[in-house]
Chains A and B, each alone.
Chain A
Amino acid sequence: MDIILGYVTTILVFFFTYNIFTLGLNIQFGYTGILNFTVITFMAIGGYVAAVLAMPKAPAGSGIYYILGLNLPWPIAALGGVLAAGLLGYLIGQIALKRLRSDYLAIVTLATGTLLYGLIGNGTSIFDGWQGLFNVPQPFAGFRTWTPLGYSIFFTIVTAVIFVFLWLFANRIYKSPLGRVMRAVRDDQDVVEAFGKNTFKIRMTAMVLGSMYVGVGGVLTIAYITALSPAGWTTGETFVVWAALLVGGRGNNFGAIVGSFLVAVVFNEATRYLPQIPAHPNLIPDIRYVLIGLAVILSVYFRPQGVFPEKKNTFFEVPLGDNSKTIEEHLAGGLSKVGEQ
């Protein structure tokens, strides 16, 4: 029973964190039309920075090297990680969001991802190179004496609460005037600009917000697994998030949940149990990526709006029942007679 529960909690944490990545990408791409081709790098930066803030100094002579090691309490470390991810988004935005075609931003995100992957891997003194960080202290581990399962359940609840909060906030942005302008930017940036709105600022807001969302996911990931190395954030993982968003439904946060569930949980977990072929240890992951790549291409071809398309937004409407008056007469009476639908 404990084994099953432990498995379920792990899957749930996995599900919620991927959901948070997908929400972040939805704010960037689904709302605002920003092509971020290195989603997973923001997860890594968020996770790494939170970890080195929470970890004590690397013991001398251990062959382990990393920066900072401030031994800070987790809430502060987590905040640091999220802000670092946001800062990376801000820097990329400064380079590529100023009135350039969307191709350029895509190129810069991809280039940044490749660059940081190499820098972090080869630069052994930053986050311990290819070996990666491990033995990251778990948040609230000293809070009380936990059983392993008890801690897993506690962590799952924390993750769930954070996810629900972020989901509600993403919805609130969507429905707000800001979200409306973001969607207009997605549909035609030049027109929004001509209407007197600073589209750079709007896109930058979405870029940084989305990056911070992904950063939250990264912090949760490293806090739960207590380790992270470059092998854990290869380019392929970015596609998993893209596939989840595109399958679920761009611009629709509910779709993002369904997509995350289908791609990151059902598909990922199902392929994990395929029999390994000893001569080809990489065959299964490769086939998995072939299918993810196909999912991205096919969903764009057949159903670019996803399984759950963006919902149509209607506003306050004149009550339909009252046919005795024309719309002009209704309007003459002002909005007092106009109800919300």
Chain B
Amino acid sequence: MTEAPYLGPEEIARTVRRLAHEIIENNHGATGLILVGLLSRGYTLAQRLAREISEFEGVEVPVGSLDIGLYRDDLSHRVAPPSLRPSSIPNVDGATVVLVDDVLFTGRSIRAALDALIDFGRPARVRLAVLIDRGHRELPIRPDFVGKNLPTAFVQRVRVRLAEVDGDDAVYVSGEEAPDA
């Protein structure tokens, strides 16, 4: 059985484009902007957003990648240590940093990302952009830019596939109580 994706490639592309516009609007341009994506798919999204922004504004936007493995709060609840990759972060001092992730769920990854980011310097402000907000926050964290609000049950699984990492672009929801796409 082939399950139908919640979002296909065209919708993802449109959503990313809209997010790019919103980020520029909120920042009054692309000056002083740095995009930092959580590895791996958040980083891929950040690269796409940076391409869109530089197309609209004619300015290159620095993109960083952040590995949050060492900042997680669930190290004692996992079957094995999370695998780590090096982070690569431009100078964030005084910049407007937009953290980028694919799915916002409990908010714990973003909490870890904020801790990690602060180790690299002192941004003037930090914003959060996500492709999917599926709800069920466990921490007082809210996104500034949301691609799609996708109401889910806690037990459901949201999978984002991006061509650069997974070979194709799609968002799938699996498990019970799948909402109508």
Q: Do A and B bind each other?
A: no
